[in-house]
Amino acid sequence: MRTRFRSLVAAVAVTAAALTGGALAAAPASAAPPKDIPKLSVYSDNIGAFGDHDFCRGAFNVRLSSPKRGVTRVTLTSFGFTGNGVGWAKNPKCKLLIGTNFTSAIAFNREDFFPVVFGTKRGEKATHDIATGSGLVQLGLVPYAANSPVRVFQGYGSGYYYVAP
């Protein structure tokens, strides 16, 4: 019985080390940009959305990193947005409201919202820092209607499980 328990504990430790990618080890201090956090994506790292005017629509990629202990940086990179009509020709910017919802050691189901504006150029970035605390984190990310008093989904969103440094 003890042998089985020791084997189980060893297997869990190896799995946790593989999933965190050694994120629990001490890192040397440097001015290098933060590395991506190893994560388990529930749906996809790419999210399609539509925005606030003239049928503007597009997609963006989600990256998670940690600039400092207990903070998760969400970086959205646009694949380029497009739209229809005269309004889009006058203002080729698509405004979205990104909602995050996370559960961690310091919060249960905490919501955090931030606005994002993407244009027609591929590679435009938007970043937002969230104080998630260290340890296991479950994070959901969904695009919402920017100009509505009611929170209306304007895309499918995605979910992530990771260990925040």
- How far CA 17 is from CA of 13, 35, 42, 68, 133, in Å, comes to 6, 17, 20, 20, 19
Residue ranges per domain, the chain? 36-164
Note the pLDDT of residue 107: 94
Phi, psi (deg, nearest 5) at residue 15: -65, -45
Split at pLDDT 50, 70, 90, the class of 19 is very low
**Could you report the per-residue pLDDT of 62-107, keeping only the tens digit for each?**
999 999 999 999 999 999 999 998 999 999 999 999 999 999 999 9
More confident site: 113 or 15: 113
Token output for 79: 């694949």
Note the pLDDT of residue 32: 60
The 10 Å CB-count burial string (b at 16+, else e) for 112-143 is: bebebebbbeeebebebebebbbebbbbbbbb
Q: Is 1.10.730.10 the CATH number for 36-164?
A: no
**Could you report the per-residue pLDDT of 113-159, keeping only the tens digit for each?**
999 999 999 999 999 999 999 999 999 999 998 888 888 888 889 99
Residues 6+ apart with CB under 8 A from 132: 70, 71, 72, 102, 104, 106, 107, 139, 164
Percentage above 70 pLDDT, the chain: 80
Note the pLDDT of residue 104: 96
Split at pLDDT 50, 70, 90, the class of 34 is confident
Is the pLDDT at 36 greater than 80, yes or no? yes
